[in-house]
Amino acid sequence: MIRMLFLLALMAGHVQAKQPNILLLIGDNWSYEHAGANGDKAVRTPVFDRMCREGMRFTNAFCPVPSCSPTRSCIVTGRVAHQLVDAASLWSKFPGKLRVFGDELSKAGWHVGFTGKGWSPGNFIDFGRELNPAGAQFEDFASFMQVRKEKQPFFFWFGSTHTSLNKWKEGLGEARGIDPAKVRVPKSLPDVSEVREEITDYLAQVELMDEAFGGAIALLETNGELDNTVVIHTSDNGWQMPHGLAHCYDDGTHVPLAVRWPGKVKRGSVSADFISLTDLAPTFLEIAGLQPWPEMTAHSFVDVLMGKPPAVRRDHVFIERERHANVRRGDLSYPVRGVRTAGHLYLRNLRPERWPAGDPELYFAVGPYGDIDGSRTKAYMMTHAGDPKVKPLFEISFGKRPAEELYDLKNDPDQVVNLAADPRYEPVKAELARKVDTWMRETDDPRAADPATNVWDAYPYFGGPAKDKRAAKK
């Protein structure tokens, strides 16, 4: 009997030791191509590159919404944005009734927390939650680890804001030795020195973000816990340039993703499977040995990580958006539903009469065309909007758009030539439109029944110069 108890104790200790921790490194407004491992020759990202070298790099990872808090809402719930009521929009409320994976991990005995940018920006505290949907907040990773119980599995969300536009310091790129000549300027932006120099300043912040994440990796190595930790290294959406953040093109939705999981993930492997960041929640639960709840629409990609055939088709992702900033008179959203495949991007603009980048004049938040943040590149394009070389680019990002857009990614990777009206592409467009229709219907999208619904226009907005804009208007 004593021998049996001893063996059982050994087995229990072995199981506990094998319980992996999870570290999520999530950047803010960091686009796919701006990492060394993803082909950028101008920026240095040794930590991300290491995660790729020692784990799996994904070439087709996308955020579900090109906007911070909506994507983060999808990450914590594992559900498509249009099922999340207010939380499908930026500066929203996060209803307490929504289940989040962190709560389930905590109930199962995990130590759960975050530092930096968790679920944000928005209001959760007044709507039934005491803790941020990302978990309990800590000053940094070290303080989180200090209060962890011995051998307790942990989940930690490290949300960097280094790459947020307000951190792009003019001249920092040059100071760090980033060569503007090596920068790739997408065809959606004017290739002028002002734009190249701003991109170098953004890339400098990418490098600083990478260094900050490196501190978390170093702490795990020092503690001897790195190889028992699943590290997920990604971003919430694309960069804050025109045609990027808040817009459903790759500049706003295609994100870096690398996963390091020693003993499970083949070192140096590359996957072309399509992953939505919404898939993170069920993936975290599966790693923890827990089950997703019935309302989750996303699917774990642990099978992909382990080199197994995926249990679900991973040849496309769906993308959507509602209200980003409050930049249209009447608090109006700019609703989009779309699908991204290996070969094409199809977008359906459900209210094409509205300005996709926001009203040309300031309404409430940000400024003119407020769904494009105030970069120096934006200022240059607005100032030179009449220049023959800039005008067509200005129209691509700032002008009104047709009801449908279709891009051939092989011939037009920067997505500047809309082929939706080209009869040669009608079969492709029809097939992708059917995919979107089916997805909207099967996920109970309110816009499946009524494309013109104003439900998202009526939800409160908690950002901007006044906390209560409705009172301010009276």
Going 190 to 194 to 200 to 205, the CA torsion angle's sign is: negative
Q: Are residues 107 and 219 in the same domain?
A: yes
Which residues of the chain have a pLDDT value below 70? Answer: 1-18, 465-474
List the domain range (segments joined by +) for residue 393.
Answer: 319-473
Same-domain check for residues 260 and 332? no
Give a yes or no: residue 340 inside a domain.
yes
Does 252 map to a domain? yes
Count: domains in the chain: 2
Q: Are residues 269 and 121 in the same domain?
A: yes
Residue 69 burial (C-beta neighbours within 10 Å; 0-12, 13-18, 19+): buried
Instruction: Dig out the tokens for 367 from the structure.
Output: 């400024």
7 inside domain: no
pLDDT score of 465: 60
**CATH number, domain containing residue 429:** 3.30.1120.10
DSSP state string for 85-121? GGGGSTTEE--TTS--HHHHHHHTT-EEEEEESSS-S
> Rounded distance, CA 34 to CA 389, Å?
25
Using one digit for the tens of pLDDT, what is the confidence trace for 336-353? 999 999 999 999 999 999
Domain for residue 129, yes or no? yes
Q: Are residues 224 and 348 in the same domain?
A: no
Position 16 scores a pLDDT of 41
Is 13 inside a domain boundary?
no
pLDDT digits (tens, 9 = 90+) for 258-298: 999 999 999 999 999 999 999 999 999 999 999 999 999 99
- Collapsing DSSP to helix, strand or coil, 441 comes out as helix
Q: By three-state DSSP, how is residue 406 classified?
A: strand
Q: How far apart are CA 375 and CA 4, in angstroms?
A: 67
**Strand 269-271 relative to strand 56-58, pairing:** parallel
Q: Is 111 part of a structural domain of the chain?
A: yes
Nearest C-alpha neighbor of 110 from the set 80, 78, 136:
136
pLDDT tens digits for 426-442? 999 999 999 999 999 99
Looking at residue 1, what is its pLDDT?
39
Mark whether 274 and 390 lie in a shared domain.
no
Do 38 and 158 lie in a common domain?
A: yes
Name 204's Cβ contacts closer than 8 Å, sequence gap at least 6: 168, 169, 172, 173, 175, 176, 178
Other Cβ atoms within 10 Å of 382 Cβ, number = 18
- How far apart CA 341 and CA 202 sit, in angstroms, is 28
What are the two backbone dihedrals, phi and then psi, of residue 326, each rounded to the nearest 5 degrees? -90, 85
The domain boundary residue, chosen from 315, 338, 364: 315
Domain assignment present for 47: yes
Q: What angle do CA 398, 401, 404 make, to 5 degrees?
A: 145
User: What is residue 18's predicted lDDT score, i.e. its pLDDT?
Assistant: 64
CATH code of residue 300: 3.40.720.10
CA-CA-CA-CA torsion for 181, 187, 190, 192, nearest 10 degrees?
Answer: 10
* Tokens describing residue 173: 């790129």
pLDDT at 13: 39
- Is residue 350 one of the residues assigned to a domain? yes
- Say if residue 267 is in the same domain as residue 295: yes
Neighbours of 76 (CB within 10 A): 28
**Residues 397, 287 within the same domain:** no
Residues 188 and 253 in one domain: yes
Contact of 152 with 162, CB cutoff 8 Å: no
Same domain, 134 and 269: yes
Same domain, 279 and 311: yes
Q: DSSP state, 293?
A: P
Is the domain of 438 the same as that of 302? no
How many Å apart are CA 419 and CA 194, to the nearest integer? 30
Domain's final residue, options 315, 330, 364: 315
